[in-house]
Chains A and B, each alone.
Chain A
Amino acid sequence: MTDLAETPVVRSAWVITAKERRTLLVSVLIFIAASLVPLVFGGYVLQVMISIVMYTAFATSWLLFSGPTNYIALCTAAFFGIGMYVTAGGIDLMPYPALIALSGVAGAALAAIVGLATLRVSGVYFVIFSLGLAELVRQIMTWGQHVFGTMSGLYVTIDRSEPMYYWQLLLATAVIFLVGWGIGRSRLGFALRIIGNDEVVAVHCGINTARAKVVLFIISSTFASMIGALVAPRWGYVEPVVAFNPFLSFQVVIMALLGGTHRLWGPLLGVIPFTLMWELISIEFPDQTTLLLGVSFLLIVYVIPNGITGLIEDAWQRHGKIGGSIQGPLQRALVTSSGTLKSLLQRGKSGNA
């Protein structure tokens, strides 16, 4: 379960606690620092930074859906590819900003179809459906191009500088974070927490659980498509096999899991080490990338199931600071039951300040 924000959700959207103000301030500072990067670095370092920002955007938007629902979405590449193709296909017909928006719409449409079909039944079916989605879209695209006689590759001839890509992606990431934070404070976020605690109760409280999940999935996928639109000019040449490469989906999942799916900034903590490590692996062991991808999955599932944020928070707890938020995992709640109710209320009060 993800607490997309740590606020007591019964508050109004315009009430921000002191703790939240701190978090916001830190985030703004990080954002400003990050935006200065292209002014200081160039060349290879900037390229790596662009990768990091792009994957952070992907992984965080992945988290928006897969965090609260615990449904592992394996279809990021499908939406990314759609965004690329909408942009590449329309580049001579429409202004670029319109194409970015259109990519979002296309992604949302596909997400709506997939969501409505799969999210009303068990989550496993969704995962399976998402597994082959990129491949499916690719097959249909390739067939479509055969039928309509277009070439299989499309050129996107917009000129942008590297720093420009970086800033665009950084802005996209910031927007995704803001949306995630906003969802956490909203009725939708509350509904998702309830669903994550007990879906039967959620339904009897009047929550249309399927619709909540579909809305989340649409939001998450729209972002993925728009990132595709942002990145298309950088690739220059868009081809089905490359645009719909499933490995993108799998890497995004690993990074998010590595970082931890219980906090909005979790994926960021996974993206940075993984991107750096992957750069190294691509250089040193280019033929073993698949094998090492598999090993990473296993390491995460068996050794760090709660990700890096899980490790950090466990360390915090062991050092005596029980985090201010009462709404932590059930284990933490049970651990404190040795105290009296009164001391609990005191801790509760300070947590909900």
Chain B
Amino acid sequence: MPEATATEALAAAGVTKRFGGLVAVENMTFALAQKEVLGLIGPNGSGKTTMMNLISGALHPSSGDIRLYGNPIAGIGASRVANMGVARTFQLVRMLPAMTVLENVAAGGVFGHARRWGKELEDYAHALLKRVGLPNVGGAPVATLTYIDQKRVELARALASDPKVLLLDEWLAGLNPTELRIGIALIEQLRTEGCTIIIVEHVMHAIRSLCDRCIVMNSGAKIAEGTPADVLADHGVIRAYLGDADA
């Protein structure tokens, strides 16, 4: 197992997660380079979100190692992982319901990797809202926003901490075709700006256009790794998604 080098943004080595008798993630080993966009795909139940939870610290691995720029982050707890520079969005959008849009974004920028307060924080939150395409809704209560806009707020919240690694957990899920185009363009923009991102997705054309590299999981284990084109043409991958008849 190669030792994690300090230049790799994220390195997972032999990560395994068991829930009683169920092995949700098995012996996952991969590396994420700086400024790379890595796609994590696989059929439902393959362990992708569990893997994200292990990286973000929401779960502790049963065994294995995860390092962020060489620093171990497995099992230290989600708040400390956030402090070290990992930010995420959630599969089902999690807003802070009794707070305004601006406060939701600001929440990400106070206690995490970047620590701002006061006027600096407020200005930064406004700038982030502009960056994700919501320039004027700072004072609105979040419950009044549309789903795509709430997702944008969540993205802004994640970006507020100046993360070293950004985890997008099915961020494009539940969007109609128009919103999907906007969403993909937004992530493309982040990519050009040099963000390091892991995307879990089911929307294949997004994976093809956004990801430098792809990892395919099935039943908790890695079954393929490579460029999106290679991986999506792989027979093993096709069999995992669609069954033997179409391979």
Contact = CB atoms under 8 A, between A and B. Distances in A.
A205 B98 contact: no
A263 interface: no
B158 to A, nearest CB: 9
A204 interface: yes
B108 interface: yes
A9 interface: yes
Interface string B77-113: 1111011000110100011111110110011101111
Interface size on A, as a range, is: 35 or more
A330 B143 contact: yes
Interface string B14-26: 0000000000000
B58 A206 contact: no
A317 interface: no
Contacts of A11: 118-119, 122
Interface residues of B, number: 44
Nearest to B120: A12
Nearest to B118: A12
A132 interface: no
A10 B79 contact: no
B111 A330 contact: no
A349 B107 contact: no
B82 A206 contact: yes
Which one of A191, A204, A208, A329 has the highest number of Cβ atoms from chain B below 10 Å of its Cβ? A204
A193 interface: yes
Contacts of A187: 110-111, 117
A208 B125 contact: no
A93 interface: no
Given A206-B113, A209-B79, A345 B118 contact: no
Given A8-B103, A330-B98, A336-B144, A206 B111 contact: yes
B94 A198 contact: yes
Interface string A176-204: 00000000000100110110111011111
A326 B141 contact: yes
Interface of B: 56, 58, 77-80, 82-83, 87-88, 90, 94-100, 102-103, 106-108, 110-113, 117-119, 121-122, 125, 136-144, 157, 161
8 contacts: A10-B106, A201-B96, A205-B108, A205-B111, A206-B79, A206-B112, A345-B137, A348-B141
